[in-house]
Amino acid sequence: MVRAGLTAERLARAGAELADEVGFEQVTVSALARRFDVKVASLYSHLKNSQDLKTRIALLSLEELADRGAAALAGRAGKDALTALADVYRDYAREHPGRYAAAQLRLDPETAAASAGVRHAQMTRAILRGYDLTEPDQTHAVRMLGSVFHGYVSLEMTGGFSHSAPDSQETWERILDALDALLRNWPAS
């Protein structure tokens, strides 16, 4: 008998909470069953396996990030928009480290194409239109921004900047200033 109230969505949300508590890599169907005090088998009517659970957490995380990004970008342009989106990623990673890790999960092409990950790229491209970038430079810039945001956030989350001055916030602001300057003066192809 399936436990009343358990759905794939509820399990994904509980899995996301668990990921924030113990780390995304530690999330399994067994760990989730313990959280609900049910047998593992009862969750398989909602989930295929641990990979399905992780994919659902990744999709939830991408959706949450996209919603935050869209709200932060409303009415902004240029450096203000660039900073707003960058801060969304950084703040989300700080508040939800497990979900942030989940958002980096490699998805199969079909799932990725139907995910909120597409909205992330669209928001970044919208910011870049304010810098008058065209293809293929726009794609290069999308990749650069994603790399810088994720790289910095990942290093900061693992304590990479906690052992020396200046404060990592000061460095973050300098990086965003440098990115803005680079985008305004993007080299011609």
For 29, phi then psi, to 5°, come to -65, -35
Question: pTM of the predicted model, to two decimals?
Answer: 0.92
Q: How far, in Å, are 48, 78, 98, 124 from residue 131 at the CA level?
A: 44, 7, 33, 11
Q: Are 14 and 38 in contact (CB under 8 A)?
A: no
User: CB atoms < 10 A from the CB of 135, how many?
Assistant: 9
Residue 4 confidence class, pLDDT cut points 50, 70, 90: low
Residues 6+ apart with CB under 8 A from 112: 118
User: pLDDT digit string (tens) for 142-169?
Assistant: 999 999 999 999 999 999 898 889 999 9
User: CB atoms < 10 A from the CB of 74, how many?
Assistant: 9
